[in-house]
């Protein structure tokens, strides 16, 4: 049991890969609206309790209750956004909500109402399990114990310590159940996505998944004679100079920019700390429009990132007859070489090469006949 708890506390922050997963599924906006609605609904509880005999009494406590409600409404409006907040903003949000819940619990004139109010920590716990670390959950649990213990002490002093203890226990069981359930779901989600297809920081495909998806992409389109396959290797300039925190932010921002800039059918992957892969097809061997959109989108991120991009273009006719991994190895190596040429030329630019006939077409029996 102790070993399990220690392993749980050592787990890394979930924020980047969960938010990247939401972005990759196009679920950021809908999820933020759900959070906004939940916070708005909770904002009405402190207002309603002002009119209850069991609620806050006196101008100071009523003022605190209404202030918490106003902050909650402000947070609900803040959550009406298209993208998920940054990790720091997320933690500040949790802090404000936790302080608000604790304040509402402590100012109730009826201690039973105060203990009941701490059930809201279950939602905070679930959020922390999904997006942050076990250490944050532990801090929240300590806050829950304190916030519930004070009204429980008041209830015990009123003559019913058994009821007080039972209510606190019930609250802790509710929160622990929510925490364990969310943790189990996160672990199943991680096993289903992180280790198999997705790079954990950006939520883009990893190299193996890129090869699989790009191979399917080539096979499904190679019979269209006027199509050209384009492979891009995108590398962030001066990446080694970033601090670890800035490096992570740069990867997340670049991944989001590429996801939002490329077409839905394009295959996008994050293969090393600073490098990304894109596979797409065009009617003509000119991918400059896509390249410039990617460069501009990454340049407009908060870190003002620049990129060195290598682009290789080849006719798709006949490529389905090549083993996809050998073909993609060849084209990716060529695009990587061109990317390094762009970096040596000073970076913040793209260089192009047209591969009229991949060597893969001549190296495997049947390829030449398919093309002819």
Does any domain span residue 200?
no
Q: Which ranges of the chain would DSSP assign to H, the alpha helix?
A: 2-9, 15-24, 28-49, 59-78, 87-107, 111-117, 121-131, 134-157, 161-193, 207-221, 244-261, 288-299, 324-344, 360-363, 367-371
Asked whether residue 25 falls in the same domain as residue 113, the answer is yes
Greater confidence (334 vs 4) lies with 334
Position 335 scores a pLDDT of 94
> Using CA atoms, how far apart are residues 65 and 49, in angstroms rounded to an integer?
8
pLDDT digits (tens, 9 = 90+) for 289-343: 999 999 999 999 888 999 999 999 998 877 777 788 888 999 999 999 999 999 9
Backbone angles phi, psi at 199, to 5 degrees: -75, 130
Asked whether the beta carbons of 178 and 130 are under 8 A apart, the reply is: no
Beta strand 349-354 pairing with 307-315: parallel
Does any domain span residue 335?
yes
Decide if pLDDT at 371 tops 50.
Answer: no
Assigned token pair, 212: 């699989």
Asked whether residue 166 falls in the same domain as residue 226, the answer is no
Asked whether residue 233 falls in the same domain as residue 330, the answer is yes
Decide if pLDDT at 166 tops 50.
Answer: yes
Position 320 scores a pLDDT of 73
Asked whether residue 185 falls in the same domain as residue 225, the answer is no
10 Å CB burial of residue 332 (0-12, 13-18, 19+) is buried
> Using CA atoms, how far apart are residues 271 and 50, in angstroms rounded to an integer?
55
Torsion-angle region of 67 (φ positive above 0: left; ψ -120 to 50: alpha; else: beta): alpha
Asked whether residue 218 falls in the same domain as residue 188, the answer is no
Domain of residue 280: give its range. Answer: 207-371
Decide if pLDDT at 17 tops 70.
Answer: no
Beta strand 307-315 pairing with 267-270: unpaired
Q: What one-character DSSP code corresponds to residue 302?
A: T
Greater confidence (85 vs 76) lies with 76
Asked whether residue 228 falls in the same domain as residue 295, the answer is yes
Position 193 scores a pLDDT of 54
Does any domain span residue 198?
no
- Which of 138, 163, 193 is the last residue before a domain boundary? 193
Asked whether residue 308 falls in the same domain as residue 356, the answer is yes
Looking up residue 358, the CATH number of its domain turns out to be 3.30.70.270
Asked whether residue 161 falls in the same domain as residue 249, the answer is no
- Report the percentage of the chain scoring pLDDT > 70: 87
Look-up of token digits 């506390």: 9
Asked whether residue 273 falls in the same domain as residue 362, the answer is yes
Greater confidence (141 vs 13) lies with 141
Asked whether residue 235 falls in the same domain as residue 342, the answer is yes
> Using CA atoms, how far apart are residues 233 and 279, in angstroms rounded to an integer?
9
- Which of 193, 225, 251 is the last residue before a domain boundary? 193
pLDDT grade for 370, boundaries at 50, 70 and 90: very low
> Of 316, 167, 292, nearest to 227 (Cα)?
316
Q: What one-character DSSP code corresponds to residue 282?
A: E
Asked whether residue 42 falls in the same domain as residue 182, the answer is yes
Global pTM? Answer: 0.59
Decide if pLDDT at 274 tops 70.
Answer: yes
Of the listed ranges 62-71, 266-275, 352-361, the least confidently predicted one is 352-361
Torsion-angle region of 270 (φ positive above 0: left; ψ -120 to 50: alpha; else: beta): beta
Does any domain span residue 231?
yes
Does any domain span residue 199?
no
Of the listed ranges 86-90, 194-198, 227-231, the least confidently predicted one is 194-198
Query: Longest Cα pair distance anywhere in the chain, in angstroms?
Result: 93
Domain count, the chain: 2
Asked whether residue 243 falls in the same domain as residue 183, the answer is no
Does any domain span residue 105?
yes
- Alpha carbon 51 to its chain centroid, in Å, reads 41
Position 339 scores a pLDDT of 94
- Which of 167, 193, 219 is the last residue before a domain boundary? 193
pLDDT grade for 26, boundaries at 50, 70 and 90: low
Does any domain span residue 140?
yes
Position 364 scores a pLDDT of 61
Does any domain span residue 37?
yes
Beta bridge partner(s), residue 192: none
pLDDT digits (tens, 9 = 90+) for 334-369: 999 999 999 999 989 999 999 888 887 777 655 444
């Amino acid at each position: 049991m102790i070993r399990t708890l220690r392993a749980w506390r050592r787990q890394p922050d979930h924020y980047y890969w969960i938010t990247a997963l939401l972005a990759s599924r196009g679920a950021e906006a809908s999820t933020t609206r759900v959070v906004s609605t939940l916070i708005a609904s909770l904002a009405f509880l402190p207002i309603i309790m002002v009119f209850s005999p069991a609620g806050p009494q006196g101008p100071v406590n009523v003022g605190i209750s209404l202030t918490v409600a106003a902050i909650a409404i402000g947070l609900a409006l803040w959550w009406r956004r298209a993208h998920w907040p940054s990790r720091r903003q997320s933690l500040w949000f949790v802090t404000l909500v936790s302080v608000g819940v604790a304040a509402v619990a402590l100012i109730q004139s009826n201690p039973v109402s105060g203990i009941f109010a701490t059930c809201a920590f279950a939602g905070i716990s679930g959020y922390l399990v999904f997006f942050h670390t076990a250490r944050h959950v532990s801090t929240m649990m300590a806050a829950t114990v304190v916030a519930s213990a004070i009204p429980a002490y008041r209830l015990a002093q009123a003559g019913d310590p058994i009821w007080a203890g039972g209510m606190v226990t019930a609250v802790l069981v509710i929160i622990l159940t929510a925490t364990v359930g969310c943790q189990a779901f996160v672990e199943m989600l991680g096993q289903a996505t992180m280790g198999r297809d997705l790079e954990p920081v950006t939520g883009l495909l990893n190299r193996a998944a890129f090869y699989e998806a790009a191979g399917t992409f080539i096979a499904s389109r190679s019979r269209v004679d006027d199509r050209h396959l384009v492979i891009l290797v995108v590398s962030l300039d001066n990446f080694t100079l970033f601090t670890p925190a800035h490096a992570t932010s740069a990867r997340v921002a670049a991944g989001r920019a590429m996801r939002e800039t490329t077409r839905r059918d394009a295959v996008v992957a994050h293969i090393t700390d600073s490098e990304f892969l894109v596979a797409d097809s065009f009617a003509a061997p000119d991918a400059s429009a896509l390249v410039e959109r990617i460069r501009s989108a990454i340049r407009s991120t908060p870190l003002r990132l620049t990129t060195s991009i290598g682009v290789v273009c080849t006719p798709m006719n006949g490529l389905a007859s090549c083993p996809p991994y050998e073909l993609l190895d060849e084209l990716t190596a060529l695009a990587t070489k061109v990317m390094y040429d762009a970096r040596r030329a000073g970076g913040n630019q793209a260089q192009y090469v047209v591969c009229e006939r991949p060597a893969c077409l001549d190296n495997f029996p049947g390829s030449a006949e398919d093309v002819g």
